[in-house]
Every structure is written in structure tokens, then in C-alpha cells.
């Protein structure tokens, strides 16, 4: 009998082995190798040389460009994500009012996100705001001077943030699903009590939506930290002007694949992983104060 169950288990393992092998070969083992490399100096040509904590020391004390990339990324995340979520919620609420065309609208609004972080959208964004692009064309038609959207160190990052806000579709769809889940009776009851729309929004919609907000917040924050493609495409891989669009992942990429500092890049990746982990944990812990679960009977 025992023998039989072993056989049954073996069959099971055989069937999930594609995943297990893939996971080991392409995720777990590379991760540990990268952890090892983060304590070495490695340029891909000569064997890795153990340097202990040197990479981390350089990162934290000897590399102003590292701190610049941290600053740029925090700015990108902490401005971009709230804006994006607010916008997504706003559009979701409009779409929730029950128009006949809702399917079409949903598709239209979701489109920029399907082509999401792709190269094509970034190139299109570049072209829209290029020197002879449509935006400058409109400005000039109105008699204003053209703006160098991606040439101005102050403006370039804002352009990246606007692009990320514009790709709000996926969070919008999740919000929409959440909004549909709130029972209309709540609103009816509130109307009977004479609540105006703003009151309804803050007393019914927001609390009942808070688990979804938490989910979107965490997912979007993590993906924002890892943003790479738009910054790479728009700054042609250089993070300029004046390192204004040098996001953390772009700087990591430059260290790894342009300067061949694989050890340093691995160390940067691990710091990022730990930082995102801690931030997610904090979000979870503080969520107790503001997330409302109906099933708990509203503690």
C-alpha cells in the first residue's frame, strides 16, 4: 500500500517537474548565484573575486550616482503610484455609472495597459513629445514656444510619471470589479438617510473598497519600483538629462551590462529586493488601521 502511494507520488512529481525544474534552473539557483556574486567583483571575463562587503560599502558611502537613482526612484514611486491609483479609481467610478457603452469604454481605457510597459508605448510617448511632435505642434499653433519635454532635467521625470499614470488600466479594472461588489442597498439606505454623494463616497465606497485599494497599492508599488523600459527607451539608455530619469533598475542595468560590474549590480538587486520586502511588510502592518473587511463584521 505504501509502495503504491509512493508510485502515485512519483507520477505527481513527474507531472509538476517542468515547473520544478524551471523554477530551480531559472529562479532559485540564479538567485543564490546572484547573492554570492553580490560579495564579489565580477566582470564576466575573469573569475569572480571575493570582496566581502565592498560592493555594499561603495553603494552606501562612495557612489553619489547610486543615491541619485534612489532619490529619482522614490520620487517616481511616491508621486506616480498615488496619482495612478487616484486616476484609476476616478475612471472606474465613472465607468460604474452604468452606461450602455461600458464594454467599449473599458476596452479603450484598458488598451494603454495591455501594451503596458512595452517598448512601443515608450517610443510613441517619445514621439508625441518630441521637438516636432504633436504636443509642440499644438503649442506652436497657440503661439507658445515649443518645450523640450525630455531635454529639460526638471521635466523629464514628470514625463515618465505622466506616462505611468496614463497606463492605469489594470488597477482600474480591479477597482471596477470591487465597485460592482458593493451592494446597491447600501447606497439606497444612505439616500434614504439623506446622505449626499461625497458622504456616500467617503462612508461607503472607500471603506468597502479598502481591501482592493490595499491590493492595488502593493502591486503597483512593487511594479513601479521595478520600472525600466520607459526610462531606458526615453533616455536612450542613459538616464539623462543630468541623470534625471536614472531609475534604480536602469542604473542597475547600466552597471551590469554596460560597465560589466556584475558584482555591484547583484548587490544593488539584493538591496532593492530587501527594500521592497520591508516596504510591503510595512504596508501590510499599517493596513490594519485603514482596511475594512466586511467578513470581520467591521471591527
Decide if residue 282 touches another protein (CB under 8 A): no
Closest CB to another protein among residues 13, 60: 13
Decide if residue 21 touches another protein (CB under 8 A): yes
CA distances (Å), origin 185, targets 105, 190, 192:
26, 8, 10
Decide if residue 251 touches another protein (CB under 8 A): no
Give least dist CB 76 to another protein, A: 19
Closest CB to another protein among residues 44, 138: 44
Q: Tell me the three cell numbers of residue 65.
A: 550616482
Decide if residue 5 touches another protein (CB under 8 A): no
Closest CB to another protein among residues 128, 204: 128
Q: Which of 2, 5, 14, 288 binds another protein (CB under 8 A)?
A: 14
Q: Which of 96, 260, 280, 287 binds another protein (CB under 8 A)?
A: 260
* Secondary structure (H, E, C), the chain: CHHHHHHHHHHHHHHHHHHHHHHHHHHHHHHHHHHHHCCEECCCCCCCEECCCHHHHHHHHCCHHHHHHHHHHHHHHHHHHHHHHHHHHHHHHHHCCCCCCHHHHHHHHHHHHHCCCCHHHHHHHHHHCCCCCHHHHHHHHCCCCCCCCCCCHHHHHHHHHHHHHHCCHHHHHHHHHHHHHCCHHHHHHHHHCCCCHHHHHHHHHHHHHHHHHHHHHHHHHHHHHCCCHHHHHHCCCCCCCCCCCCCHHHHHHHHHHHCCCHHHHHHHHHHHHHHHHHHHHHHHHHHHHHCCCHHHCCC
**37 vs 42: CA distance, rounded Å:** 7
Decide if residue 99 touches another protein (CB under 8 A): no
Q: Could you tell me how many residues of this chain bind another protein (CB under 8 A)?
A: 37
Give least dist CB 224 to another protein, A: 24
Give least dist CB 110 to another protein, A: 30
Q: Which of 50, 257, 292, 293 binds another protein (CB under 8 A)?
A: 257
Decide if residue 50 touches another protein (CB under 8 A): no
Q: Which of 27, 46, 61, 97 binds another protein (CB under 8 A)?
A: 46
Decide if residue 149 touches another protein (CB under 8 A): yes
Give least dist CB 4 to another protein, A: 8
Decide if residue 11 touches another protein (CB under 8 A): yes
Binders of another protein in range 153-172 (CB under 8 A): 153
Binders of another protein in range 180-239 (CB under 8 A): 236-238
Give least dist CB 114 to another protein, A: 25
Q: Which of 27, 61, 132, 295 binds another protein (CB under 8 A)?
A: 132
Sign of the CA dihedral with 153 first, then 231, 76, and 252 last: negative
Compute the CA torsion angle 136, 230, 221, 245 (nearest 10 deg): -70
Q: Which residues of this chain interact with another protein, rule CB under 8 A?
A: 7, 10-11, 13-15, 17-18, 21-22, 25, 43-46, 130-132, 148-153, 236-238, 240-243, 254, 257-261
Amino acid at each position: 500500500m505504501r509502495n503504491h502511494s509512493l508510485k502515485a507520488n512519483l507520477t505527481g512529481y513527474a507531472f509538476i517537474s517542468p515547473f520544478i525544474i524551471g523554477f530551480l534552473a531559472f529562479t532559485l539557483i540564479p538567485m543564490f548565484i546572484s547573492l554570492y556574486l553580490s560579495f564579489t567583483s565580477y566582470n564576466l571575463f575573469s573569475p569572480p573575486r571575493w570582496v566581502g562587503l565592498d560592493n555594499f560599502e561603495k553603494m552606501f558611502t562612495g557612489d553619489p550616482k547610486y543615491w541619485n537613482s534612489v532619490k529619482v526612484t522614490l520620487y517616481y514611486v511616491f508621486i506616480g503610484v498615488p496619482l495612478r491609483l487616484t486616476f484609476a479609481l476616478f475612471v472606474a467610478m465613472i465607468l460604474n455609472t452604468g452606461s450602455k457603452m461600458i464594454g467599449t469604454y473599458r476596452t479603450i481605457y484598458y488598451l494603454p495597459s495591455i501594451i503596458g510597459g512595452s517598448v512601443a508605448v515608450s517610443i510613441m510617448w517619445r514621439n508625441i513629445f518630441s521637438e516636432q511632435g504633436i504636443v509642440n505642434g499644438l503649442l506652436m499653433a497657440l503661439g507658445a514656444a515649443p518645450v523640450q519635454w525630455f531635454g529639460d532635467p526638471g521635466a523629464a521625470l514628470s514625463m515618465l510619471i505622466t506616462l505611468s499614470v496614463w497606463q492605469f488600466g489594470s488597477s482600474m479594472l480591479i477597482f471596477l470589479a470591487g465597485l460592482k461588489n458593493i451592494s446597491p442597498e447600501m447606497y439606497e439606505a444612505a439616500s434614504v438617510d439623506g446622505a449626499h454623494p461625497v458622504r456616500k463616497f467617503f462612508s461607503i465606497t472607500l471603506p468597502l473598497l479598502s481591501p482592493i485599494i490595499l491590493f492595488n497599492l502593493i502591486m503597483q508599488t512593487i511594479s513601479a519600483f521595478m520600472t525600466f523600459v520607459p526610462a531606458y527607451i526615453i533616455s536612450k539608455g542613459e538616464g539623462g538629462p543630468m541623470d534625471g530619469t536614472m531609475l534604480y533598475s536602469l542604473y542597475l542595468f547600466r552597471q551590469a551590462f554596460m560597465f560589466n560590474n556584475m558584482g555591484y549590480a547583484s548587490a544593488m538587486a539584493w538591496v532593492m529586493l530587501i527594500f521592497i520586502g520591508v516596504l510591503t511588510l510595512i504596508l501590510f502592518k499599517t493596513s490594519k488601521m485603514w482596511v475594512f473587511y466586511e467578513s470581520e463584521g467591521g471591527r
